[in-house]
Chains A and B, each alone.
Chain A
Amino acid sequence: MSSSAAGSNTQPSTAHEAVGHGEGVISETEQARFLPRADLQILIRLLRDDGFTVVGPKLDQSAIVYGEITQVADLPIGWTDQQQPGQYRLVPRNDDRMFGYVVGPHSWKQFLFPPSAIVATAQRTGDSWRMSTPDEPSPRYAFLGVRACELAAIAVQDKVFLGGAYVDPIYQQRRASVLLIAVNCTQAASTCFCTSMKTGPRCKAGFDLALTEIDSGFTLETGSERGRSLALRLPLREAQAAELCDAEQGREEAERQITKQMNTDGLHDLLLGQLRSPHWQTVAERCLSCTNCTMVCPTCFCSTVTEVSDLTGDHVDRERHWDSCFNMDISRVNGVPVRDSVASRYRQWLTHKLATWQDQFGTSGCVGCGRCITWCPPGIDLTQEVWTLQQLARESGHGLSHEEAPEQTVEIGSGEG
């Protein structure tokens, strides 16, 4: 496995770092290129000719999901989504936009960190075993339609799977070859809060190409050497001032539509000061512990490896599956789950996502995409729960719920995150 890994050479610097700072103004020259609507098909064809499996938005199961795209007609032309806590509806648009939706139930995670994958194999050989790990080439994906929050989510998972002493070979291989074509949001859902998490809605870094859709086509910017060489092969023309203006208005409209907020000031210490709050039990009365929030989350990475044996027991695959901190078995020690209540599991999820993730990876685990709010059947809204915890903390004195809290908040983890 090559160590010229994803996110280093072939990829632009991680989106998170770049997005986290300043305005990241897009340069005039890059912005000034334009891809006519009719020519998007050429982009798809080029990518396929280059051996990429193009994955993008498409209509399926009454939603806009991510799947293989072979032609422009596969895109959800003229459709959009309406989202609120616990509810998603596919609705027709008044125009024929191809990317006129927000985000759906799928995320790119399923392609880079597949829901099921064989991580190792054991084959009996006489009185011994041959133990190996898979060495098939991994698929080469081009993602078409990546949102700013999703670029940030990929950057978060880069830190999880590639940033530590041990890297995950499956993620590493897939990530190293993936081509990222972002499309800026020109609208937002009621569940979006990327502005609070400083991940969007504008795509500022972490992509190879970034498009902004207007009625007549796409303004285009490049974010990497690979993106630039791909752009050179596209039938681009100078963007007209009116087109640039439309694109900018679209991006501003998305930002304007974001109403949900989460105050992240001091959130790490505040949440860890609330570990004994009765509010976790209040949430648990609604929480189904069904795992939906973690499954749709583009950054959640829990998994479990299980044995899949043939009947003779001579050939065993070790299969890794997505798992969730909402499952009791994930914390089972000596037959007993450590987190044996819904309250303790919800607390684990929320405090990990928004606080201890900082200690572990130097970033929040939340990118503000709102999927966990939309796809929670009873519509539990983490921004609401955080707000409530902040109110409770304020009532009991500056974010500290107990007299020992100063020590707790200072000492937990390395803290510097």
Chain B
Amino acid sequence: MSVTSESCVQNFDPWLSHPVRIAGITREIPGVCTLNLQFEDSRLASTWSFRPGQFTMLYVPGAGEAAISISGDPGVSSVITQTIRDAGNVTRSITGLGEGAVIGLRGPFGSCWPVEMCRGRDVVLIAGGIGLAPLRPVILQLLRQRDQDQELTLIVGAREPSLLLYPDQYDAWRRQGLNVIQTVDRADDSWTGGIGVVTAVLDRIGLRNAAETVVMTCGPEVMMTYAIKTALSRGIPRELLFLSMERNMNCAVALCGHCQFGPHFLCREGPVFSYRHLRPLMRIDDL
């Protein structure tokens, strides 16, 4: 599942950050914003690429680094789009900087969603809250490579309607063939979508051929656990279940030991895993 080829990375100093300028900031839901970043070094701008599911280390000198998933279109190389939540010192510093400011970037790192595996199969994406961010690149790529016969479904959940990520993009995705199902825990009067957890939606949606359906999920660990349980109960095989995990990342290149999860370095074998690999580990507390 390693993505970046060895010959490619051996020449790089893994600790070297590259200056990127914040070309745009979009406020999303409260506490979350999307950055458009551009390399200061134009040579990097033309060679840099990523695969859906990968992350970068964004760096504010003095505040430190944070692992942030890439949420943009893998087909667009001129800007790097990343959606971040104000969760700690680094992310708060970044959101406080504003357009024009320069931060550092290392990456991309980590494994990717199984986009190729989706050819000829139906796909269900299950996102909770900001977990939609690392799934957006896969949505954009799947919509581009979609064949007419393929059913693509996105179940997106949030605590309340105002916390749904990228709501203004759902209609465009629908027009391109994505079945977007929204669900919230608590609705307001204007809400027309579903109410309840994402797993309840997964439980009742139609699956033409469960044995040939790929599921990718990203969100709180407990949500993913239940989403996987439901998917298995619907007959989707373990091998076709994928999830994106979160742990403390420090070096992002499997040298510092922080992000270990059983035998895995989350920064290298993850963040995207096949459930087949994680199954025994997800039952152990405090691992």
Chain A residues with CB under 8 Å of chain B are: 1, 3, 119-120, 122, 124, 127-133, 160-161, 164-169, 272, 275-276, 301-307, 309, 313, 316, 318, 323, 325, 330-335, 338-341, 344, 348, 352, 355-356, 359-360, 404, 407-408, 411-414
Contact = CB atoms under 8 A, between A and B. Distances in A.
B250 A305 contact: yes
Contact of A411 (B15, B254, B268, B276): B276
Given A276-B284, A360-B265, A330 B248 contact: yes
Nearest to B280: A408
Nearest to B247: A333
A411 B262 CA distance: 11
A365 to B, nearest CB: 11
A303 B257 CA distance: 7
Contacts of A168: 14, 255
Contact of B6 (A165, A272, A341): A165
Contacts of B253: 164-166
Contacts of A305: 15, 64-65, 250-251, 256
B61 A356 contact: no
A138 to B, nearest CB: 14
A404 B59 CA distance: 43
Nearest to A171: B255
Given A131-B17, A169-B14, A348-B287, 8 more contacts: A120-B15, A128-B102, A165-B4, A301-B257, A303-B250, A303-B251, A307-B61, A359-B263
Given A165-B9, A168-B255, A302-B258, A307 B62 contact: yes
Contacts of B4: 165
Nearest to A405: B280
Contacts of A119: 15
23 contacts: A120-B15, A128-B102, A129-B19, A129-B61, A131-B16, A164-B254, A165-B6, A167-B14, A168-B255, A301-B255, A302-B256, A303-B251, A303-B257, A305-B251, A313-B61, A325-B260, A335-B87, A338-B287, A339-B286, A339-B287, A344-B285, A404-B280, A412-B262
B279 A304 contact: no
Contact of B255 (A129, A161, A335, A359): A161
Contact of B62 (A164, A316, A334, A344): A316
A124 B61 contact: yes
The 9 closest A-B pairs by CB, nearest first: A413-B263, A359-B263, A302-B257, A344-B286, A166-B253, A122-B61, A356-B263, A316-B61, A119-B15
B62 A309 contact: yes
A124 B102 CA distance: 10
B256 A304 contact: yes
Nearest to B103: A129
A122 B104 contact: yes
B193 interface: no
Contacts of A124: 61
A395 to B, nearest CB: 21
A330 B10 contact: no
Binding site secondary structure of chain A: mixed
Interface in B90-105: 100-104
A183 B88 CA distance: 50
Interface string B1-45: 010101001111111111101000000000000000000100000
Q: Interface size bucket, B side? A: 35 or more
Nearest to B256: A303
A335 B88 contact: yes
A64 to B, nearest CB: 28
B248 A411 contact: no
Contacts, number: 159
Contacts of B281: 412
B100 A169 contact: no
Contacts of B2: 165
Interface centre among A132, A164, A309 (most CB of B within 10 A): A164
Contact of A166 (B17, B248, B254): B254
Given A129-B104, A275-B287, A120 B17 contact: yes
B117 interface: no
A333 B284 CA distance: 17
B257 to A, nearest CB: 4
Contacts of A408: 280
Contact of A169 (B13, B102, B247, B250): B13
Contacts of B65: 305
Contacts of B18: 131
Nearest to B63: A307
Contacts of B159: none
Contact of B257 (A131, A323, A339, A414): A323
A3 B104 contact: no
A334 B15 CA distance: 23
Interface in B39-90: 40, 59, 61-65, 87-88
A122 B283 CA distance: 42
Contact of A1 (B13, B276, B287): B13
Nearest to A357: B263
Contact of B248 (A122, A301, A331, A359): A331
Nearest to B264: A413
B246 interface: yes
A352 to B, nearest CB: 7
Contacts of A276: 284
B16 A132 contact: yes
Contacts of A407: 279-280
Contacts of A316: 61-62
Nearest to A317: B61
Contacts of A411: 276-277, 279-280
